[in-house]
Structure 1
Amino acid sequence: MMKAHFIFFLVVWMSFGCAKRNLVYFSDVEGQSDYSVKVPEMIQPKIQKDDLLKITVSSLSPESNLLFNVGVLNAGTDARSSSNVQPLNEGYLVDQHGEINFPVLGRIRLEGMTKAEAVEAVTARLQEYVKDPIVNIRFVNFKITVVGEVNHPSTFTVPTEKINILEALGLAGDMTMYGKRENVLIIRERDGVRSAKRLNLNNKDLLASPYYYLQQNDVIYVEPDKIKAVQASTNQRSLTLFGIATSLAVSLMFNLRWFLARN
């Protein structure tokens, strides 16, 4: 009986194959050793078309603060109450020309600039109207998308504008057991060029990769392994072949058991 069971499992293994999946991140870091790597300089996100920017202006003039932060200044408005006024907009949209439309200043081109460069550009324009303005800019819609073999695929808005690939996978509930950790795809659009990069999350070299930190609008795709692909297939031919193979395996098992019982 033991021989029959062993032969049966051997036949099944040979029929359908045996997949091995490394589920450990950075598995090449030795368990009892320390590992360190110089932190690569983070690539500062650049302003792109369709970005939504929150721009706030502070100065010694309450009237200027109200005008540039709210966008209107009525003759009867008490400037001292400006702190209680709610902004009329949630941000400035970078249009298809790479520009925003700012109160009084009009159109300002910001596409391709980092936040620091955009602050300088807006500050320089404001100095024509306000003395010593302080400008702060942040992304309102800095988002990344995680799809594929993760537990909660979705698009996530990142308030800090700084997120690495592991944090992104954490937001998506981590990979499933079918996710290929050695073949994660990042799709990125920068300076009008869309590119794709494959990363191996089993390898410690990722910690020094310029793709470790994500950019706005990055898409992370976790590819399923072959077992999941077979399970998800609706191809009738594949289902038929699977059924035939199963029937042959069961038939072979009974024939082997009969043969061993006779001998």
Structure 2
Amino acid sequence: MRQLFYMRALYLIYFVGIIVLGSSCSYKQNQILFEKKASTADTSISQPMPTVSYRIQPQDVLQIRNLQNIKYIVDESPVASNGNSANMVAGQGQTYQVEEDGTVALPAIGHVQVSGLTRTQATKLIEDLYRKTLLKDPIIELRVVNLKVTLLGEVKSPGNFPIVKDNTTLVEILGQAGGLTTGANEKNIKIIRGKDKDRKVAEIDLSNINSLSDPRTLLQNGDIIYVAQNKRAIRGENLQSFDTWIQPALLLLNTALIIFTLSRQ
């Protein structure tokens, strides 16, 4: 009877071990994006999404070129002047840094006050100044090239991503990062915005189609986006941690029971 008891205990231990191993390897996550539809009482999806235009600040880096004639504004051998950094970006134009006083020093027209202006406003101002002093019908292209957001957590390619256009959305940045991983919680995506006492956190639920019209998903310079783990991924990690010590313990106990059973025969 005692031998039968030990044999049953041995089988039970093997059975538990198989369950633990199987549960840790059977994890599968199905992403559920934009499945929840808007209800008739929810009118947020029909509301227009507000535009958010970035306003130029000191220390910003502007990339400026004249599309009419590349020899103006962009020179083959740019020279920094008045303490401004002027550098060539291959095939894209010359860059100028906005000074602490909010001005940027440009060839032929000198310092131009651009701080507080949107990209469109600054472009028009620079076009008008060059039209009055040097160029006929210039077409100025201006970009703010130092704007970026940081993407962390359960995304396929976390890191820093540049904001290359106005009104860049959360979905667009996630697309650039390759999308969510299988361990991502699409219902809990945090956008951390601001600094110190002005810091705010917005929680976005991408399983809800209404999130596409949520104005909080229009990204701003310096935003930190964190994609949390889903419950299955957390459970899988916990099981893996459990396996790191339960498997050696099971092996040791199984060996002891086998030796004990054989010695009783």
Report TM bin, short chain: 0.5 to 0.7
8 Å contact from structure 2 (residues 109, 129) kept in 1: yes
Map 1:116-135 onto structure 2 (within 5 A).
116-130=120-134, 133-135=137-139
8 Å contact from structure 1 (residues 122, 135) kept in 2: no
Report what 2:192 is aligned to: 187
CA RMSD of aligned residues (A): 4.9
8 Å contact from structure 1 (residues 149, 222) kept in 2: yes
Q: How many residues are paired up?
A: 222
1:190-219 deviation line (CA, Å, top 9, x unaligned): 9xx654322111122212111333234433
Report what 1:24 is aligned to: 32
3-state secondary structure, aligned to 2:33: coil
Name the CA distance, whole Å, in 2 between partners of 1:130 and 1:71: 19
TM-score, normalising length: structure 2: 0.60
8 Å contact from structure 2 (residues 64, 73) kept in 1: no
3-state secondary structure, aligned to 1:145: strand
Could you tell me which of 39, 56, 64 is aligned with 1:55?
64
Map 1:149-228 onto structure 2 (within 5 A).
149-189=154-194, 194-225=199-230, 228=233
Could you tell me which of 113, 127, 130 is aligned with 1:109?
113
TM-score, normalising length: structure 1: 0.61
Structure 2 unaligned regions, length at least 5: 1-7, 79-89, 254-265
Cα 1:223–1:111 shift into 2, 3 Å: farther
3-state secondary structure, aligned to 1:168: helix
Report what 1:41 is aligned to: 50
3-state secondary structure, aligned to 1:146: strand
Residue identity (%): 23
The alignment status of 1:136 with 2:140, answered yes or no, reads yes
Report what 2:94 is aligned to: 90
3-state secondary structure, aligned to 2:120: helix
1:107-150 deviation line (CA, Å, top 9, x unaligned): 22322211121123323433541365434233252433322111
Name the CA distance, whole Å, in 1 between partners of 2:112 and 2:175: 37
3-state secondary structure, aligned to 1:23: coil
Name the CA distance, whole Å, in 1 between partners of 2:178 and 2:130: 44
